[in-house]
């Protein structure tokens, strides 16, 4: 698709800097965009690339555009406007409805006439597939699972029995929804499986990355709120509840029965212990261990920054003496007559 910079300004409500007649036919990066491509500047660390860009126009903030001599689309949120421009210029391929002859659909399943079921997919008894929903090749939809309209299961997704999924949900390859949670009860030296009888409810406008897994509840449902975005290789345990518009980066693990609020931003490889609560609007940086409830919004961290290994070993050996070090300092302070100051933070 092709349009002018002026068209984009009108459509997305942005001021145009420079010639509104510049023709735009695609997107590119600041470093490598070609004639006809529009790009964006959102991360300040790429500002140095502005001077040499050959892009036809740049989506940027008015402040960044001040000294920029070339065409631009001005907005306070360049990345958002870029997302919309890119979606406009590169629309998703239309997909005709229908069931592949190489799919296996149980006669008691209900598949909307304009839904699509790809080759190698299996739709089990009682499942319901909503209008325009795309069941990619190799996907498995378990008994009585239900997907609403306009979902896209890219390929090889597993939706276990009884899972309920809202509208416009995107599931990437390898996702597993509604697997049994890790419920085991100790019986002497051995462990007995606890039946996982709950379900899994996924809201609308949720996107879930490749090979992410979400367990069904033990008794009640695991619940993923509207607008939640999960990256790849995340593990969500049974009974977890995640509030709307929370986003979680890759490789993070959430243990069973944790309750995560709305609009949280959780970094990659974070470990969240079970049976705790994280309040709305909490930010957690990468590789943090969350071992207790967080009841106050804020930014939380626990991972140490790296160091050259030799220096690291020296410091981490000292870490094992930290309590005794603190006691020595206290004793020295007392000997030096600082008792009051000392007691303050013990």
- Give SS3 for 331: helix
**3-22 positions binding its own copies, by CB under 8 A:** none
How far is Cα 102 from Cα 191, in angstroms, rounded to an integer?
41
Tokens standing for 73? 């689309």
CB of 325 to its own copies, least distance (A): 6
Tell me whether residue 12 or residue 68 sits nearer to its own copies (CB atom): 12
Closest CB to its own copies among 9 and 227? 227
To its own copies, the closest distance from the beta carbon of 32 in angstroms equals 6
Nearer Cβ to its own copies, position 68 or 300? Answer: 300
Identified catalytic residue from 238, 245, 275, 292: 238
121: β partners = none
Beta strands in 54-204 (DSSP E): 57-60, 72-74, 98-99, 104-105, 110-111, 116-117, 122-123, 128-129, 134-135, 140-141, 146-147, 152-153, 158-159, 164-165, 170-171, 176-179, 184-187, 190-193, 200-202
CA Rg value for the chain: 26
Of 56, 227, 242, 264, which lies in the binding site for its own copies, with binding defined by CB under 8 A? 227
* Structure tokens that stand for 47 in this block: 């500002």
Sites for its own copies among residues 56-75 (CB under 8 A): none
**Residue 13 burial by Cβ neighbours in a 10 Å radius (0-12, 13-18, 19+):** exposed
The distance of closest approach from Cβ of residue 222 to its own copies in the complex, given in angstroms and rounded to an integer, is: 13
- C-alpha span between 286 and 305 (Å, rounded): 11
By the 8 A CB rule, do 287 and 268 touch? yes
Q: Specify the residue, 67 or 189, whose C-beta has the smaller distance to its own copies.
A: 189
Answer yes or no: are the C-beta atoms of 111 and 131 closer than 8 Å.
no
Q: Which is nearer to its own copies, 7 or 180 (CB)?
A: 180
Interactions with its own copies, residue window 327-346 (CB under 8 A): 328-329, 331-333, 335-336, 338, 341-342, 345
Window of 9-17, 49-57, 63-71, 207-215 that interacts with its own copies by CB under 8 A: 207-215
Catalytic (active site) residue 238: yes
Concatenating the DSSP letter of every residue in 219-252 gives: SS-EEE-TT-EE-TT-EE-TT-EE-TT-EE-TT-
Residues 239-298 that bind its own copies (CB under 8 A): 244-245, 247, 249-251, 253, 255, 262-263, 268-269, 271, 273, 275, 283-292, 298
Report the site for its own copies in 107-126 (rule: CB under 8 A).
118-120, 122, 124
Number of Cβ within 10 Å of residue 188's Cβ equals 6
Site membership for its own copies, residue 319 (CB under 8 A): yes
Closest approach, Cβ 310 to its own copies, in A, equals 8
By beta-carbon proximity to its own copies, the closer residue of 20 and 280 is 280
* CB 21 to its own copies: min, Å: 24
Q: How far is the CB of 164 from its own copies (least distance, A)?
A: 17
Query: Please, which contacts does 186-192 make with residues 24 or more away whose CB atoms are closer than 8 Å?
Result: none
Select from 23, 51, 303, 343 the one that contacts its own copies (CB under 8 A). 303
Among 174, 259, 277, 279, binds its own copies (CB under 8 A): 174
Cβ neighbours for 33, distance < 8 A, ≥ 6 positions apart: 27, 39, 53, 54, 55, 56
Of 70 and 273, which has the nearer Cβ to its own copies? 273
Annotated catalytic residues are 238
């Amino acid at each position: 698709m092709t349009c002018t910079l002026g068209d984009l300004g009108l459509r997305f409500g942005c001021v145009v800097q420079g010639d509104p007649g510049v023709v735009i036919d695609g997107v590119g990066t600041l470093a490598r965009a070609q004639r006809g491509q529009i790009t964006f500047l959102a991360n300040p660390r790429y500002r140095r690339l502005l001077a040499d860009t050959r892009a036809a126009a740049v989506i940027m903030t008015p402040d960044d555009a001040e000294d920029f001599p070339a065409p631009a689309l001005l907005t306070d949120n360049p990345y958002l406007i870029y997302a919309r421009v890119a979606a406009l210029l590169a629309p998703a391929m239309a997909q005709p409805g229908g069931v592949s002859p190489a799919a296996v659909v149980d006669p008691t399943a209900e598949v909307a006439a304009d839904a699509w079921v790809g080759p190698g997919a299996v739709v089990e008894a009682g499942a319901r597939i909503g209008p325009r929903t795309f069941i990619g090749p190799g996907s498995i939809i378990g008994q009585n699972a239900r997907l609403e309209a306009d979902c896209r299961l890219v390929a090889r997704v597993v939706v276990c029995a009884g899972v309920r999924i809202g509208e416009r949900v995107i599931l990437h390859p390898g996702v597993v929804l509604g697997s049994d949670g890790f419920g085991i009860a100790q019986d002497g030296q051995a462990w007995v499986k606890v039946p996982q009888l709950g379900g899994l409810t996924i809201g609308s406008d949720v996107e879930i990355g490749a090979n992410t897994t979400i367990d069904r509840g033990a008794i009640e449902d695991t619940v993923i709120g509207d607008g939640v975005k999960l990256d790849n290789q995340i593990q969500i345990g049974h009974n977890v509840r995640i509030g709307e518009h929370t986003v979680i980066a890759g490789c993070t693990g959430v243990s069973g029965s944790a309750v995560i609020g709305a609009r949280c931003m959780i970094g990659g490889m974070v470990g969240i212990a079970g049976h705790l609560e994280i309040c709305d609007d909490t930010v957690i940086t990468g590789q943090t261990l969350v071992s207790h409830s967080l009841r106050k919004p804020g930014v939380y961290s626990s991972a140490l920054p790296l160091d050259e290994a030799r220096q690291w070993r020296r410091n981490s050996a000292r870490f094992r003496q930290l309590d005794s070090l603190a006691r020595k300092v206290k004793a020295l302070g007392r000997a030096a007559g600082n008792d009051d100051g000392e007691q303050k933070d013990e």
